[in-house]
Structure 1
């Protein structure tokens, strides 16, 4: 198999999945915290987490099966995938001990407002959606586009769950952060 531009989305997805696994293990080892909250999720969060995981798997397969071509779309997908993976990995590192996959009652060590979090309250989700978009672009199948739509919807549901959790945990400080920083992407609003 020849690695070309069409492989970038697949490699970016593998990179952010591996980074996520390594990050979770590092937090567990360093702090004793259990960052894998999806494992004990119930209700809507369990549905969102399951949908999220299935969509990542489908997009990973789509990216792996993408036909080799040198079109401008492959170049665009490569750029988008590399940017998305970089955003995911950098934001995970910037979260430090606060990094979690999902939320649990009583489990909110802090919320992060520095680094990429000055431009997005959810840069990890933004980065993952970019990588998912790149996979749909290179594979260009109805099922990869469907998986991307379902993935984005799952992210939206999970973000709403996390925001409610953070607001309940941090109150006015988190509400002020939400007024300053957009949910997805943009410049911080001035006070």
Structure 2
């Protein structure tokens, strides 16, 4: 299970972030990675997310290749059970499907961060018709799934900090879209919830 989780996470990062970003760049000439070194709220969010992702990768790698080191991550023993692990694994696969479909819905509009340089086109089809942030929803599900599979203090911090960072980024992006699209985005907000409910 530990090795499968590591392989899955690697595929997750490559298939859902690296490849779609490369495809978008080849199709449009636009680099989808929109975080920069400029001191702004959205760029601090980008840095925080990179740190969270790196810690998650290291934790999963340790769990797979150096399981003896996991004892130092303060395991939450009462959450350890085969049923909970399978629920976590199910959530990881669900998140993959959600993000994959949402990226297909976005097509050439795929961005990581806020794009201040190019025209913004609102996506309302597919999963964006039932959630304004299906990709972020999928990422939150990843954090929950990882915590259930490897319940310890580190994965709990990843879950909590990831939730906070995503909440901040969503609101920054909403502010940007309200400024860029005005009434079009306001109307979208009245029809579709930020998450699901």
**TM surpasses 0.5:** yes
Alignment of 1:47-86 (within 5 A): 47-66=44-63, 71-86=82-97
Q: 1:107/1:156 Cα in 2 relative to 1: closer, same or farther (>3 Å)?
A: farther
Alignment of 1:1-191 (within 5 A): 4=1, 9-18=5-14, 19-39=16-36, 42-66=39-63, 71-186=82-197
Gaps of 5+ in 2: 68-79
Q: 1:175/1:48 Cα in 2 relative to 1: closer, same or farther (>3 Å)?
A: same
**What is the root-mean-square deviation of aligned Cα atoms in Å?**
2.1
Gaps of 5+ in 1: 187-191
Q: Confirm or deny: 8 A CA contact 1:45 1:161 kept in the other structure.
A: yes
Q: TM-score, normalised by structure 1?
A: 0.86
Name the larger-Rg structure: 2
Q: 1:103/1:150 Cα in 2 relative to 1: closer, same or farther (>3 Å)?
A: same
**1:161: Cα distance to partner?**
1.0
Q: Confirm or deny: 8 A CA contact 2:131 2:194 kept in the other structure.
A: yes
Q: Confirm or deny: 8 A CA contact 2:42 2:172 kept in the other structure.
A: yes
Q: TM-score, normalised by structure 2?
A: 0.84
**1:107: Cα distance to partner?**
3.0
Q: Confirm or deny: 8 A CA contact 1:62 1:136 kept in the other structure.
A: no
State the aligned residue count. 182
